[in-house]
Structures are given as structure tokens and as C-alpha cells.
Amino acid sequence: MDEYDREPAFSVPNDRTLAHAERGGGKLIPFVRLDLTEGPYEEARRCLDLGAKGIKLHPRAQAFALDDERLPPIFELAVERGVPILIHGGRGLPPIAEHLALLVRRYEGVRLIIAHAGIADMAGLAGRLGGLPGVYFDTSVWSAVDLFDLYRQVAPEQVVYASDYPYGRQPNSLLTAVRSARAAGFDEPQILGMIGENARRIVTGEPPPPLTTPKEMKSLGQPLTFARIHQYISMAVPQLWLRQRDAIGALGLAVNASRERNGYLEEAERIQELLVSAQALWREGGEVVSDDERIEAMRTAIQLINIADLITVTTRA
């Protein structure tokens, strides 16, 4: 998305992606990025002819709407070549479900992956595309709460694991997907489908499996102390993302709350250890001179806080 040489048409980054995939010996599945202002159809054909296995569209970064007249040829080409389309469905978008659903129904058989669980318009997307074989939602989100809401609206067979590196780094992204799925009631075959089998079917072009029903999870019950910690973490994280100090002491409140013993001793101790370590890294990151060291300290602190938050929202009262 931010490659310095992305103009024109993402052709140089696309060639780089294809070269990485070739060197990967089949372990990497190359998707190519399109810019609708610079010959997207031609670039898509060129890359597919060179071995690309999918198309990536980013309406926020490229500032286009889903009723853009340049999109239908791309969807038609994807159906013709039997490749999936991955589309950004996260922050920075207006509601997109209506026009995206029209494209999916117009180009029957298109395989579509909606990134970031479709949080920009989750209810609209799930309402129009949930239950439609060949449409998938990926798990690359910050919070398990988003995934809980997704799991109650679409079938497990429509969910595919994704990390969105560098934002979702390991072990966080995989842990968030698996722990939330188990808490929501996914069985082991459904979890295995989410973390690999569903994606394999997309890549190989196999028909999607029969869809089961979404999970019945309409409310979130968590220990009150953990709800407080979740609230304080939500206050602290934006400051971390902006590499600011904890001016309001939000993380300190979360640490203090984690010391309360509320009947969930093991979970509380894990949360406390994670938050205390993150607090030290946050403080250290504000003191180091090197930009690289500061960024690494902040990113690691975010990872630890994210895992702590995951425990707070997946521990059932």
C-alpha cells in the first residue's frame, strides 16, 4: 500500500510480489494490487498471466467507492480466471455492503474475501453476504469483540484466518482468532477450517463446504474487573499507537485492577504480568533515542497489551 515505487499502477511492487512467490516454491500465494486510476484491468491481466492467484482492492487507500464503473471489469475478469478478490473492509470507509453485494450477485461465482471482518459495515455485509457460498470474512482485527460479533452473523465456513502484518503480528493474530473462536463455540473442524482449510479451498478453486449456522452469541459476559481492565486498555492503546506517553495513567489503572482477586486468579495473574511488562516497555520507549528501538519497544508493548485484552474479553463470567 505504501511502497515508494507504487506508481504507475503498482506494477513494480506487483512484480516484486510475483518474484517473492516464485522464490517461495509454492509457499506464497501472490495477490496483486490495483490502482483504479491507472489501467487496473490491464495490470490485472498482466499479473494474472504471470502467475498471480488473486486481486487486492483497497477502496480507502485508493479513494474509490464500490459503485465505481471501473470495478465491474475487474470482477468479471476474476470470475473468468477463477481467482479471488480480497477487498479492504476495515477502518476509513463509509458503509459498503449495498454496492459490494450488487457486484457479487451480478458476477455469479466470484470468490470474495472481505478483510478485517468487514468492521466498516459488518451488519450490512453479513446481512447481505452471510450465507452466500464463496464469500469470506477474514479475522485481521485488533479485538476479539469484533470477531465475536462476526461469528454470530456468518457461518464458520465463511471465516478465514488473516494477520495483516505488521499490525497483527504473531502470536497475537493467531491467538486472537483461535481463542475467540473457541469461546464462541467453534468445534475443532471449524477451527481447522478457519485457520487453513477454508483458505486452501479458495486458492485451489474447490467448492466451499456446506455452510452451517452462525454461533448463538448475542451478548458478552465477562468478570466485572476484567471489563474495567478492557475499558482502561481501550483508553491507553490510542496513546501507544501515536507513540505518546501514558499521560492520563490509563495503563496504570489497568495494572492496578489486574491485582484485584475476583475468582479468576490464573487469568488475573497472566493479565498483570503482561501489563506490567508492557508498562515498562512503554516507559522505556519514551526514553530511548533511537527511532528503531522506540518503535520496537512500542510495538512489543502493544502486542502484550493486546494479549492481556484478549484474556479479559474471552474469560466468561
How confident is the model over 204-223, as pLDDT tens digits? 999 988 999 999 888 889 99
User: In which band, very low, low, confident or very high, does the pLDDT at 3 lie, cut at 50, 70 and 90?
Assistant: confident
Q: Please report, for residues 38, 146, 230, 301, the alpha-carbon distance to residue 311 in angstroms, rounded to integers and kept in the order given.
A: 45, 14, 9, 16
Q: Please report, for residues 59, 80, 106, 108, the alpha-carbon distance to residue 76 in angstroms, rounded to integers and kept in the order given.
A: 18, 6, 9, 9
User: In which band, very low, low, confident or very high, does the pLDDT at 56 lie, cut at 50, 70 and 90?
Assistant: very high
How confident is the model over 163-202, as pLDDT tens digits? 987 677 888 999 999 999 999 999 999 999 999 999 999 9
What whole-number distance in Å separates Cα of residue 196 and Cα of residue 203?
Answer: 11
Mean of per-residue pLDDT scores for the chain: 94
How confident is the model over 231-280, as pLDDT tens digits? 999 999 999 888 888 889 999 999 999 999 888 999 999 999 999 999 99
Contact at 8 Å (CB) between 223 and 263?
Answer: yes
User: In which band, very low, low, confident or very high, does the pLDDT at 1 lie, cut at 50, 70 and 90?
Assistant: low
Q: Is the pLDDT reported for residue 286 higher than 90?
A: no
Q: Which amino acid is at 91?
A: R
What integer is the mean pLDDT of 41-65?
Answer: 96
pLDDT at 2: 65
> Which own/partner pairs from 221-224 qualify as long-range (CB within 8 Å, at least 24 positions apart)?
221/316, 221/317, 222/312, 222/313, 222/315, 222/316, 222/317, 223/262, 223/263, 223/264, 223/315, 223/317, 224/262, 224/317
How confident is the model over 62-117, as pLDDT tens digits? 889 999 999 999 999 999 999 999 999 999 999 999 999 999 999 999 999 999 99
Helix (H) or strand (E) holding 72: helix 71-81
What integer is the mean pLDDT of 120-149?
Answer: 96
Give me the domains of the chain, ranges plus CATH numbers: 11-204 (3.20.20.140), 224-314 (1.20.120)
Question: Could you tell me the pTM of the whole model?
Answer: 0.94
